[in-house]
Structure 1
Amino acid sequence: MLHRYHSTKMEGSSSSILGFLYVFCSHGVLGLDHVGTNIKTRPGQIAVLPCIVTDLGSRQVLWAKTVSTERQEILSIGHFVWTTNPRLSVEHDGDTQWNLVIDDVREGDAGAYTCQVASDDATRTGVAAVQLEVSWEEDRSRVAAKAGETAVLPCTFRYLGNKQVVWQRTGTKIQILAVGVYVSTSDARIHVQHRGKQWNLVINDVTEGDDGQYECRTSENIPTIITVDLAVADRSRVAAKAGETAILPCTFRYLGNKQVVWQRTGTKIQILAVGVYVFTSDARIHVQHRGKQWNLVINDVTEGDDGQYECRTSENIPTIITVDLAVAETAAGLDE
């Protein structure tokens, strides 16, 4: 069980405590054994800075905040909170956890914190470093899927406490999709995949109508919000007669610094072009780039060109536009 220890008067002679602190502060900060993780939160939230110490023995766990390259502000020693800030406390499970808890986080709390082990001789060993970021900006991720596929929208909360996780779709109208693992929509394609700290929203058989913005948030007055943009790949069909020029359309409104990749799919994937640079020896193919358009042009098409093509962004989770090219020897063949 975790116990919280708030600011309190430290027992023992003040002179011995001050002496310990004087010796402690007069020594340089030792190197860390390992580096911890970054924690991002919004103003008004509770930030839990983790620290796990094994084989502590008679030594003390100390939390400090880096004020400058040469100075650290001591926040706690063992169970005792040394600062007068009432929002800070130490969370200890009686075993290995010595977490620093900051209630009602403010932007001024942002910075680098270190959890260290201190001995009576003022020798210190670095245990963990935690970088706390406080910002009104939302966490945001992006998921891309093709129509008919299953889209998994990620959501992870490390310290949820007794709060619920709420999934909703935003836009002109907010639609609650799930609270915890209980789905609040009649859409049978949707469910919540809960494993440990993960609360992923799963949408089976996605359609272009699922495209848009989703939010995973905690159930509190000032919630922590994780925004997920779902992009469902467009699918279009281009029909051409043998000998004609086929133009396969592709438009990206927000490309950023990513590249556009054209490839032909099937039993074997063939890269055709990256940007405007063609990667095939087929002289009939080139990319027609105008503004946000990255169309693939195939001159003098044959039935051998018939098949599926993909225009995608060069990223781990790409946005994909699928184009089916149908080539027929006669105009009647196109109508079949």
Structure 2
Amino acid sequence: MLEAQEYSHLQTKKLSLLAIRRLLRLILRIAIFSTLLLLGTTRTQNNDTSTNTSMPDKRSLTEEDNGGEYWVAETYNFPAFDNNTAKNVSTQLGQTAFLHCIVENLGDKTVSWIRRKDFHVLTVGTDKYISDDRFQTVRTGNDNDWVLQIKFTQLKDQGIYECQVSTDPKISVFVNLSVLVAEATISGGPKIIVEKGSSIELTCVISNSSDPPKFVFWYHNNRMINYDSTRGDISVEKAAAKTVISKLYIRDIGEAESGNYTCGPSNAGPTSVSVVISNGENPAAMQHDGNSAPLNGVQTRASLLWNLLLSLSLINYVTR
């Protein structure tokens, strides 16, 4: 019995020692793992500190720190418009208008054209967002120039157009388009009286003409006389920025030269004047020498005033 108890005691002691060994091994493993983890964290912190110490901020370096060598930080240039671009553009009715938008430092941003009167986006880049084929963005030799082209301009095309860059916030520049309608008038009209045998010079003034007309045709009644040298000379000259003058000079005028004279420029509607030949019996007839222009302005205004008074008298009589 005693031996059995002793044997049981020995077995219990062995089991206790085995449990203690296992516990010590576990504690040792945990200690080793914790030590390795702590060493790794400390090394990372030391590396960060070493990096920060050896690589200071470029912008904080002084001349003493970097041995006299400056480090220039790279700066970002934001898109900007060329202020020399025309902000007011004029074009003739029916011609092509070009609205320029020069953008420097565009980078990855896009350029859009917007019609301000209805805020319709016309183009984005070179892509078109309007069904009207008259509008498109074209590129020229200047890569920074985004040109809005409007073909066959109409009066409804007048107004302000916005060139917008897709920055944050967006930046814009505005261009005002004017569509000019040329108008032709003959000085001294609508009726000119000249004495037989004198000379006459008819002056056709074409105003609101951004560009000179491609041609100016003169007609006597229904016949074009531009190439009829027997009747006189025709000249065309630019008088002002938007004014062109065409002159018809006729020498030794006779009965055959009476009738209707029409000035027909290519960029404006025709205008006419009636020329009446006098044999000297009409006191209102105007005398011309070979180098003078018709001096019929006073008589023409008097005639118009007289006709106006007669018309007013007739209206007053009828409405009584």
Bigger proportion of residues as helix? 2
TM-score class, shorter-chain normalisation, is 0.3 to 0.5
Work out which of the two has the higher radius of gyration on C-alpha atoms and give 1 or 2.
2
